[in-house]
Structure 1
Amino acid sequence: MTVVWHCQAVNSSRTAGAVRQGSLRELNLAVVLRRIAAADPPPSRARIAADTGLTRATVSAVVDDLITGRLVTEADPAPRTGAGRPARVLLLARDGPAGLGLEINVDYLAAYVVDLAGDVRHHEVHRADLRPVSPADALARLVELAGRARAAAVREGLTLAGATLAVPGLVDARGLVRLAPNLGWREVDVPALLAAHPAVTEPVPGIPPLVVENEANLAALGELHARPDGPRSFLHVSGEVGIGAGIVLDGALFRGARGWSGEIGHIPVEPRGRPCRCGGRGCLETYAGQEAVLAAAGLAGADLPADTAARRLADLADAGDPPTLAALHAAGTALGVAVAGVVNLLDLDTVVLGGGYAPLARWLRPPVAAELTGRVLTAAWSPVTVRAAALGAASAAVGGAGSVVRRIITRPSGWLSRPT
């Protein structure tokens, strides 16, 4: 009995040591890769050792692993004056893993491929009114876009490591779309419908092959990472046929208790106002959504895609068209009323106008800002900044693709241990 116990103790000790060693390696891989991803200018091995406190030997071994795994490349720095030979610098690889961002919205489908450095390497947008289309047929069309995106990624020397799908509605943790009123979807099991289609991404430990997420949340994440020096707390409002919002607090997405936060389009701005597709009345999107603005500008029934509609409205507003200017002012006023309530509740200092609102920010910003000034309790001491999104209509799909590569940067050991 003693002998058996002694052998088990030795084996357990060895196992525990191996686990600790493996965990330490995972930690070092993540620390070094995150440092390379965040550095500006690109760091050398010696710089990383100095910044992280790791030994040069450890950093060198970790960097070699990252280079072998196609996560990092080493390059000569820009020429400089002065004595001594400059050290080589480390960059995120442009021929390694990439993320696939997919979006299904009322009047378009989109697919974006984003590499580890955050650069868009492929994108395709298919325009179509998807309201009369069944969820299964709409997702089948999306799979075709995803397949072409994978082929484009392969041509670029990239490997798709995962995909994130943006949907304009309430999405639970399992990817079930509980409600997407503008698409007419209720209780749509997106993962189950897509299970019948061949995968378009490589299996990577720790990275789900497909994540389904609310499009406004992904747009907010896209904005957060597109402006690394920007505010860490803000409200991102996406204006399409529907209106959604992503809430970022201290650099993290606020999802709410069930993951359904941000449905700003269904905040009532006129309690007894116009009927909404959600079943309520007076919702913001019935006054500031794309169709409402087009109708107020005299373009009802124009049936324009979101980006075309925004450009058309911008052109008319730029030309001084009175109905268009009045429509944009009314939409901005309604938007400002709803946003002011969110700002008062959460104490935010920045509002980002994204999606179809981004190209119209020049005309929407003044009435939104006026409502914030008049309605936000703290505006006299701390004015709220209102600005256009950096990514515009591409925010959700790019944010989705970016979420895949950020998971790799956070846990590179999963990518390095994938089947090859």
Structure 2
Amino acid sequence: MSGDADPRTAGERTTSRARLDRGRGALGPALELVHTGRAPTRAVLTAELGVTRATAGAVAAELEALGLIRVDARPGAAAGSQGRPSHRLEIADEGPVALAAQVHADGFRAALVGLGGRIVATAPGCETVDADPAKVLRSVVEAGAELLRTTGRRCVGAGLAVPSAVAEPDGLALNPLHLAWPVGAPVRRTFAECVRDAGITGPAFAGNDVNLAALAEHRHGAGRGARDLLCVATGHRGVGGALVLDGRLHTGSSGLALEVGHLTVNPEGRPCHCGSRGCLDVEADPLALLVEAGREPGPEVSLLQQANDLLRTQYGDPAVRRAAEALIDRLGLGLAGLVNILNPDRIILGGLHRTLLDADAHRLRAVVADRSLWGQSGGVPILPCTLDHNSLVGAAELAWQPVLDDPLGALAA
């Protein structure tokens, strides 16, 4: 036999190489499907990707080899189902993690978050926030680094959630009003330096806490399946908003979209930090509820916890009920205006607003329906956020995104 390659072997190699190339191109989309729970089996993965069973099997095997997912070795079918049983696809139990950090008015917290939005470990939160951003970020990163040492997990990167608009492309915190940080603090650069100094591998990102909460809820929580999702939430102080359009977080031309806290909902109301009066930020946050109910805020626990506890344990008190109704009406006015402008297909509420929804969902939905054009045409579902620590999970999503975009490239780096 001559030294020339056999034509059939060459053809088979070409076919195999083409299949491999297609499979590599499908790795990211496949991982995102498993990550968001939309491909629980290899059969669903095949259908969602629009590829052959062989290609889907090769893709799943490659993701398993990367330590990202686990493929059930013995496929099974549900009782009464027909057709070939399919392999289940699950997140790898001991797979890589992202370091997530959150800073808010009453402290900070670090966590390790795996694929699927699963929080693997958390560090106890600090209860005070220094006026120096670098000092705070160094502390929260050190807490995260200790978690990584303890668990021995591989880290793909780090994400930070802050209660401020984060301007792009420089990652500047433009309005950290409740942190006493300087306006324009370079939080992304400072966070990245702290991550690098701690010996943590992977890129570092930063974003607004409510934006990141919306991203997490859209992928893993109450926003799953929504096309145009509006999220409005109270942090420990103030009110924030976020919008997911066609599955992507909408941050505007420079990261500053959806500053809903500065919608006027009570023209004769409290002075706002922005210089206006009666903004949602000061009329529907935890401090506003406590003041409205005639309660003196205490130093023992966060304002958010104090406000939530008041609603959950003393809602029968007439003063508390009146305060809650006042906040619900103001929140409803703000939501109605946003519905008229944005026409979302779902609204989710977090923080104190979730508790207000639990307290009197009928009143809030009625205000939105009565005051909004689209609400009157059929109503917009208003639901509570469902994830614990959704801003932390969203911060981790920033770090996971390069892996979702290109698993082989990101993990080989």
TM value normalised by structure 2: 0.83
Q: What is the alpha-carbon distance in structure 2 between the residues aligned to residue 163 and residue 261 of structure 1?
A: 23
Distance 1:29 1:183, change over 3 A: same
Indicate the larger mover: 297-306 or 164-173: 297-306
Say if 2:234 and 2:352, in contact at 8 Å, map to a contact too: yes
Q: What is the alpha-carbon distance in structure 2 between the residues aligned to residue 335 and residue 85 of structure 1?
A: 51
Deviation per CA, 1:376-404: give whole Å up to 9, x if none: 01323211222211125x11111221343
Secondary structure (helix, strand or coil) at the match of 1:101 reads strand
Shift of 1:36: 4.2
Q: Which runs of 5+ in 1 are unaligned?
A: 1-18, 204-208
Q: What is the alpha-carbon distance in structure 1 between the residues aligned to residue 47 and residue 373 of structure 2?
A: 46
Q: Do residues 273 (structure 1) and 269 (structure 2) align? A: yes
Distance 1:100 1:55, change over 3 A: same
Say if 2:280 and 2:331, in contact at 8 Å, map to a contact too: yes
Deviation per CA, 1:42-100: give whole Å up to 9, x if none: 324x7755664545554454444322211222223457679999554333322222222
Q: 1:371 aligns with which of 367, 370, 375?
A: 367
Correspondence for 2:212: 218
Distance 1:298 1:129, change over 3 A: farther
Q: What is the alpha-carbon distance in structure 2 between the residues aligned to residue 167 and residue 107 of structure 1?
A: 12
Secondary structure (helix, strand or coil) at the match of 1:399 reads helix
TM value normalised by structure 1: 0.82
Q: What is the alpha-carbon distance in structure 2 between the residues aligned to residue 81 and residue 171 of structure 1?
A: 50
Correspondence for 2:137: 139
Secondary structure (helix, strand or coil) at the match of 1:169 reads coil
Q: What is the alpha-carbon distance in structure 2 between the residues aligned to residue 48 and residue 199 of structure 1?
A: 38
Say if 1:94 and 1:116, in contact at 8 Å, map to a contact too: no
Q: What is the alpha-carbon distance in structure 1 between the residues aligned to residue 83 and residue 264 of structure 2?
A: 66
Correspondence for 1:165: 160
Distance 1:230 1:317, change over 3 A: farther
Q: 2:385 aligns with which of 374, 386, 389?
A: 389
The AA in structure 2 aligned to 1:377 is L
Shift of 1:332: 1.1
Q: Which runs of 5+ in 2 are unaligned?
A: 1-16
Q: What is the alpha-carbon distance in structure 1 between the residues aligned to residue 31 and residue 39 of structure 2?
A: 15
Q: What is the alpha-carbon distance in structure 1 between the residues aligned to residue 150 and residue 92 of structure 2?
A: 17
Q: What is the alpha-carbon distance in structure 1 between the residues aligned to residue 324 and residue 25 of structure 2?
A: 51
Shift of 1:261: 1.2
Superposition pairs of residues 219-234 of structure 1, within 5 angstroms: 219-227=213-221, 229-234=224-229
Shift of 1:249: 2.2
Superposition pairs of residues 56-71 of structure 1, within 5 angstroms: 58-71=55-68
How many residue pairs were aligned?
Answer: 388
Correspondence for 2:291: 295
Secondary structure (helix, strand or coil) at the match of 1:295 reads helix
Superposition pairs of residues 130-209 of structure 1, within 5 angstroms: 130=129, 133-154=131-152, 158-173=153-168, 174-185=170-181, 186-194=183-191, 195-196=193-194, 198-199=197-198, 201-203=200-202, 209=203
Q: 1:246 aligns with which of 225, 242, 252?
A: 242
Distance 1:125 1:391, change over 3 A: farther
Shift of 1:32: 3.8
Say if 2:137 and 2:194, in contact at 8 Å, map to a contact too: no
Say if 2:267 and 2:277, in contact at 8 Å, map to a contact too: yes
Correspondence for 2:13: none
Shift of 1:267: 1.2
Q: Do residues 108 (structure 1) and 107 (structure 2) align? A: yes
Shift of 1:41: 6.7
Q: What is the alpha-carbon distance in structure 2 between the residues aligned to residue 170 and residue 84 of structure 1?
A: 51
Say if 2:369 and 2:376, in contact at 8 Å, map to a contact too: yes
Q: Do residues 344 (structure 1) and 340 (structure 2) align? A: yes
Deviation per CA, 1:195-225: give whole Å up to 9, x if none: 156245323xxxxx21110111001111111
Shift of 1:368: 2.6
Q: What is the alpha-carbon distance in structure 2 between the residues aligned to residue 273 and residue 307 of structure 1?
A: 21
Say if 2:166 and 2:256, in contact at 8 Å, map to a contact too: yes
Indicate the larger mover: 181-190 or 81-90: 81-90
Q: What is the alpha-carbon distance in structure 1 between the residues aligned to residue 46 and residue 84 of structure 2?
A: 19
